[in-house]
Copies of this chain bind each other. A is one copy, B any other.
């Protein structure tokens, strides 16, 4: 009788957790950077290339979620697709520093445990997001920089490439045009915000990729990867590898990945501020993300945007720039890919 009772109880527990699992809808949102992304600057061919690649990233991440994988793995899968494409300023497509090198940053965070990993200023790791993941999973640290981060990645068995892997004539020409322009202009916008209206200046600043996912268990994760700012000097680090600025994930509030003028995003602690507004002022993810991107950042002249999602799969994608490459999939719905306002 007792055995029967426990058997019955066990069945209820199983059925209950199964029902809960079923009720948790999976979702994924990605971005490929914000900036002067306007219909009139884009050929049909370019437009299609971006659409296809964002779709591919969404599908790669979503497949992980569908199979019951974790949001961390889904975020990683989506970002890998974008890092391996020359279209975005991250991984293969990373822009050039002043010294004509490529210095990449990435970070990832698990919303269930608040475990996080980040790398800054790495030059020879094929996929910086995998290095950030390894820091999270296989070290006692959260952030590693430069040669030390590269040594760690190598010891972890990650793919190390010759820096020439990141070289690209178009990006090199872009760097040289910017250098030329900066020589003749003294319009240094500094920390007080951007002032350049030339698309070249904009595009160099706001390239980043990122993803936020929620899995069957209702766990959020977020990740961000970037080549930083074209023509950056002095080992500049932006917001992408900073937990709280470029990336944050916490089941109690939301997951966020940001893209924009990194200096302002760091000073505004953008990603965590959205989480804090949800936790402490009971704003929705949409209200919180808009408050930070459309008010606080606009006041600070911080151009860019974010993707943000709560554990119920509610998605916000506000940006205050001309456009932002972005897309999402929610369970039972068709993927959506957008670029312009």
Contact = CB atoms under 8 A, between A and B. Distances in A.
Interface of A: 109, 114-116, 120-121, 136, 139-149, 151-152, 188-191, 232-238, 242-245, 248, 262-263, 266-269, 272-273, 276-277, 280-281, 300
Contact of A266 (B142, B149, B189, B234): B142
A258 B171 CA distance: 40
A300 B114 CA distance: 9
Smallest CB-CB A-B distances: 5 pairs = A148-B235, A280-B280, A276-B276, A148-B234, A244-B269
A200 to B, nearest CB: 16
Given A237-B120, A276-B276, A140 B263 contact: yes
A235 B149 contact: yes
Given A242-B244, A243-B245, A189 B146 contact: no
A145 B236 CA distance: 6
A284 B267 CA distance: 22
Contact of A145 (B115, B146, B277): B146
A244 to B, nearest CB: 4
30 contacts: A109-B267, A114-B268, A114-B300, A115-B191, A120-B237, A141-B191, A141-B234, A141-B236, A141-B237, A142-B191, A142-B266, A142-B267, A143-B237, A143-B266, A144-B237, A145-B237, A148-B234, A151-B234, A152-B235, A243-B267, A243-B269, A244-B266, A244-B269, A248-B269, A269-B272, A272-B273, A276-B276, A277-B280, A280-B280, A281-B281
B269 A236 contact: no
